[in-house]
Amino acid sequence: MNRPHFILGVILGTCLIAQSAWAAKTHVTDSFEVTLRTGPSTENKVIAMLSSGQPVEVLDSQGDWSHVRLLGSGVSNKEGWMLSRFLVNRLPWEVQARSLREENIQLKEKLTRIEKKLTEAVRQEKAARSTLETIQKGVQTLTKENEGLRSSQKNRWFATGALVVLCGLLIGLVIGRQQKKRRSSVYY
């Protein structure tokens, strides 16, 4: 019985040791400053004041305290202890809000550019429609003029033909009378 308890204790101890060896990235919680100390108690000296959103890496945990390393620019691997309740795994709301504000500004700028392009495209399309309508009216006018000219030309040819026939009739009548007079003068 002692041996299974011993093996179980060794396995459990190994798991607990391995868990503290895993480093997890977390952040100091929102809207206040937290003390970073030299050891895991309030009697230890304060090394730094950490503001909300400061990224830290958890190196070890002892009860309510976590051994952390500061991350970010301007920090040279400073390590210390802080209360674990001030650590959160998510991005702090302030950091998220700042990120969303920046994204919102970028999206508004993009929207403004798109609206300008759309307005320009609408203006160009209106100009193109206006030009198209003018061209269509011009084509209609020219088509009507062309039909009128064709009709006028047909009428002219018809009138010319009628005039030729009329002249032929007149000439025929005149010549016919003269021949009639000659015949009648021959008989008298």
| Tokens of residue 67, six digits | 């051994």
Q: Structure pTM?
A: 0.43
pLDDT tens-digit map of 31-40: 678 888 989 9
Going from N- to C-terminal start, the domains of the chain cover 22-90, 91-155
pLDDT tens-digit map of 71-103: 877 766 789 999 988 888 887 777 788 899 999
- 8 Å CB contact between 82 and 35: yes
pLDDT confidence of residue 187: 60
pLDDT tens-digit map of 27-73: 665 567 888 898 998 899 999 888 877 888 999 999 999 999 988 77
Under the banding of pLDDT at 50, 70 and 90, the label for residue 184 is low
Q: Cβ neighbours of residue 150 under 8 Å, at least 6 residues apart? A: none
| Distance separating alpha carbons of residues 132 and 93, to the nearest angstrom | 56
User: Buried (b) or exposed (e) across 104-134, using 16+ Cβ within 10 A?
Assistant: eeeeeeeeeeeeeeeeeeeeeeeeeeeeeee
| Tokens of residue 103, six digits | 């994204």
| Tokens of residue 10, six digits | 């060794």
The CATH code of the domain at 22-90 is: 2.30.30.40
Under the banding of pLDDT at 50, 70 and 90, the label for residue 148 is confident
